[in-house]
């Protein structure tokens, strides 16, 4: 899932907490922690909406993967051009 507004919130809190000064090998886990904190601070309805959206996206991507595995053409025009 990629929401630009969430990305900017995570980045702002990441920097505000001084995590950007930590070794870069730790950045991914620290960003995950910040994102989890922000998600937990959201209302239950927002959390449920994000969970539903993620589940729907997963199902779409799995269906696309199954189609590719079965040799069906991609619905993506760019992929068809390859």
How do residues 49-75 score in pLDDT, each as one tens digit? 999 999 999 999 999 888 888 877 777
CA distances from residue 55 to 17, 23, 33, 52, 72 in whole angstroms, order as listed = 31, 33, 21, 5, 23
Record the pTM: 0.69
pLDDT band at 2 (very low <50, low <70, confident <90, very high): low
Distance CA 17, CA 82 (A): 45
Distance CA 68, CA 82 (A): 14
How do residues 19-40 score in pLDDT, each as one tens digit? 999 999 999 999 999 999 999 9
Domain boundaries, the chain: 4-69
């Amino acid at each position: 899932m990629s929401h630009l507004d969430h990305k900017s919130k995570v980045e702002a809190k990441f920097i505000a907490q001084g995590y950007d000064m930590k070794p870069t090998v730790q950045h991914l886990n620290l960003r995950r922690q910040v994102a989890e904190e922000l998600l937990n601070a959201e209302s239950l309805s927002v959390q449920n909406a994000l969970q539903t959206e993620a589940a729907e996206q997963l199902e779409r991507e799995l269906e696309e993967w199954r189609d590719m595995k079965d040799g069906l053409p991609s619905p993506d025009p760019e992929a068809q051009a390859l």
